């Protein structure tokens, strides 16, 4: 029987059946951003098939600790602190799920069968509503005792930055996430825009938009270099709506060539694309059994 895989992001929830590394019957809906975990469960129940699956696996934005979900940045997903996601899913589907952070799940999928195959230390970054990161070190997926491992989106991109939803100032996520691009674009272009509008303005030659994207790229590449200095990352894979926007990965690569040579590492697109979180969670659920 396939694994029922669920990916809860800051903007959308995706559900699919995963078997043997492939994804079928993918459905998605907007994430209810009401601040109530029970509303997430209701949205999931609406998308899910009635049965016919052997296990349930959940990848979710936010910090996962013992099956409970807490937002590190409530602006990425508002939710009660320590929402008992695993037990709520178990109640809805009658089976205890595996629950893992979305970027950690995607990192595992890419390491096992995608862009990170065969490397020693690997990092997957999703540049999306927020900025997520999953780390595989010496072949082991890192989550840490409190689930915080890999939250590089909340390392500091520079002094004097704005207040992040996590409570720190100047986090990478405040300059390079989809949320940040929309905010900076709206402030500086003088009209309300979303992240894709900033990209199309830049493509159309708007210098303000071009600068916003260049700063995001610069912040990310320096974040990669910091992480490389910490755990000697062999390869970076990129996913997420912003990360996979046309030209973005190429811009990261070009900018990374300005780094001292020892910090330059391959930067590639996630092979599983938007399905990496679903696949990784399903694979981790299979491993657990
Ligand atoms: C935030 C944080 C991470 C997550 C990342 C990407 C929350 C709710 N989420 O940094 O756990 O991995 O965003 O999330 O604090 P996405 O929703 O953009 O995929
Ligand atoms: Zn932060």
Phi, psi of 60 (to 5 degrees): -140, 145
Per-residue confidence (pLDDT) for residue 174, from 0 to 100: 97
Shortest CA distance to 133 belongs to which of 210, 48, 230? Answer: 230
Q: Which two tokens stand for residue 175?
A: 């300059």
pLDDT at 173 over 90: yes
Nearest CA to ligand 1 atom 1: 130
pLDDT in tens, 16-68: 999 988 999 999 999 999 999 999 999 999 999 888 899 999 999 999 999 99
User: Quick one: pLDDT at residue 159?
Assistant: 83
Res 217: pLDDT: 98
Q: What pLDDT band is residue 94 in, cutting at 50, 70 and 90?
A: very high
Q: Which ligand 1 atom sits closest to the C-alpha of 173?
A: 10
Long-range CB pairs of 250-254 (<8 Å, 24+ gap) are 251/213, 251/214, 251/217, 252/217, 252/220, 252/221, 252/224
DSSP 23: E
In whole numbers, what is the pLDDT of the chain averaged over residues? Answer: 96
- For 36, 37, 144, 219, the CA distances from 147, given in Å and listed in that order, are 21, 18, 5, 24
pLDDT of 273 higher than 90: no
pLDDT band at 211 (very low <50, low <70, confident <90, very high): very high
Instruction: Output the pLDDT for position 158.
Output: 84
Strand bridging mode 22-30 / 63-65: unpaired
3-state secondary structure at position 183: helix
Tokens of 28: 């998605």
Q: Which residues pair with 5 in a beta bridge?
A: 16, 57
10 lines ligand 1 (CB under 6 A): yes
Measure 261 CA to ligand 1 centroid, in angstroms: 30
Ligand 1 atom nearest 129 alpha carbon: 18
Task: Give yes or no for residue 131 CB within 6 A of ligand 1.
Answer: yes
- pLDDT > 70? residue 289: no
Residue 274 pLDDT exceeds 90: no
Instruction: Give the global pTM.
Output: 0.96
Closest ligand 1 atom, CA of 103? 12
- pLDDT of the residue at 247: 92
Determine which helix (DSSP H) or strand (DSSP E) holds 24, and give its type and residue range.
strand 22-30
pLDDT at 11 over 90: yes
Please indicate whether residue 102, judged by its CB atom, sits closer than 6 Å to ligand 1: yes
Tens of pLDDT, residues 222-254: 999 999 999 999 999 999 999 999 999 999 999
| Interface confidence (ipTM) of the complex | 0.98
Q: How far apart are the C-alpha atoms of 257 and 245, rounded to whole Å?
A: 20
The model's pLDDT over 132-169, given as tens digits with 9 standing for 90+, comes to 999 999 999 999 999 999 999 999 998 889 999 999 99
Which atom of ligand 1 is nearest the CA belonging to 133? Answer: 12
Å from CA of 162 to ligand 2 middle: 10
Report the pLDDT averaged over residues 187-209: 96
Res. 101: pLDDT tops 80 = yes
How far away, in angstroms, is 155 Cα from ligand 2 center?
7
The four Cα atoms 161, 162, 168, 171 give a dihedral, to 10 degrees, of: -60
List the helix and strand counts (H, then E) for the chain.
9, 12
Say whether pLDDT at 15 is over 80: yes
Residue 81 has pLDDT above 90, yes or no: yes
pLDDT (average), residues 69-80: 97
Cβ neighbors of 206 (< 8 A, separation 6 or more) are 189
C-alpha to C-alpha distance for 203 and 200, rounded to whole angstroms: 5
**DSSP alpha helix (H) spans, 121-203:** 173-176, 178-189, 195-203
In the predicted model, what is the mean pLDDT of residues 186-199? 96
**Ligand 1 binding pocket includes 132 (Cβ within 6 Å):** yes
Please name which of 224, 223, 196 lies closest in space to residue 209, comparing C-alpha atoms. 196
């Amino acid at each position: 029987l396939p694994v029922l895989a669920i990916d809860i992001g800051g903007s959308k929830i995706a559900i699919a059946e995963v078997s043997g590394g492939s994804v079928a019957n993918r459905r998605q809906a907007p994430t209810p951003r009401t601040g109530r975990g029970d509303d997430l469960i209701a949205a999931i129940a609406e998308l899910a098939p009635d049965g016919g699956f052997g296990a349930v696996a959940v990848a979710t934005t936010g910090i996962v600790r013992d099956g409970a979900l807490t937002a590190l940045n409530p602006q990425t997903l508002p939710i009660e602190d320590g929402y008992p996601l695993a037990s709520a899913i178990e109640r809805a589907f009658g089976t205890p799920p595996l629950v893992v952070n979305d970027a950690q799940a995607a990192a595992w999928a890419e390491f096992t069968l995608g862009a990170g195959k065969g490397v020693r230390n690997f990092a997957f970054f999703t540049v999306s509503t927020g900025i997520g990161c999953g780390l595989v070190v010496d072949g082991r997926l890192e989550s840490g005792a409190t689930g915080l491992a890999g939250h590089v989106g909340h390392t500091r991109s520079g002094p004097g930055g704005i207040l992040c939803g996590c409570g720190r100032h100047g986090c990478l996520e405040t300059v390079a996430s989809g949320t940040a691009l929309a905010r900076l674009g709206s402030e500086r272009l003088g009209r309300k825009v979303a992240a894709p509008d900033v990209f199309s303005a830049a493509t159309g030659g708007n210098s303000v938009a071009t600068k916003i994207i260049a700063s995001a790229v610069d912040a990310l590449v320096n974040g990669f270099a910091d992480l490389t200095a910490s755990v000697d990352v062999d390869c970076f894979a990129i996913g997420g709506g912003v990360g996979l926007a046309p030209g973005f990965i190429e811009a990261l690569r070009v900018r990374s060539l300005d780094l001292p040579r020892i910090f330059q590492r391959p930067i590639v697109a996630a092979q599983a694309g938007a399905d990496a979180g679903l696949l990784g969670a399903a694979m981790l659920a299979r491993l657990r059994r």
